[in-house]
Amino acid sequence: MDKHFKKIHPDTRPRLNVDISEDQKLALEKLVPWGLKNTLFGAIVDDIIELLNDPDCRDKFIAIIISRKMDALAYSKTFKGIKENTQ
């Protein structure tokens, strides 16, 4: 195990807490069916991890998302297409 990561006790479920705006909260409540947030955000986190695991994409992905030059969906489609065509 990487020395930077603590082992999680087997009885503990890891959680990710992120501050969002009131508008974002209301939009998510309206647009995401009840009971699907965990599944939806779990899939998003998996996609982000996949992109971050690629050292050629990691810094570019973070910079592009934070600067809002491209959204995560477009970036994911772009780089998945590139990976598929180069394998």
9 occurs within a structural domain = no
2 occurs within a structural domain = no
3-state helix, strand, coil in the chain (%, to 5): 60, 0, 40
| 51 CB burial (10 A radius; 0-12, 13-18, 19+) | buried
75 occurs within a structural domain = yes
Q: Which domain holds residue 63?
A: 35-86
pLDDT in tens, 4-27: 666 777 777 888 899 999 999 999
68 occurs within a structural domain = yes
pLDDT in tens, 64-83: 888 888 776 776 676 666 55
Q: How many domains does the chain have?
A: 1
Q: Give the Cα separation of 29 and 86 in Å (integer).
A: 40
What pTM, to 2 d.p., does this model score?
0.66
21 occurs within a structural domain = no
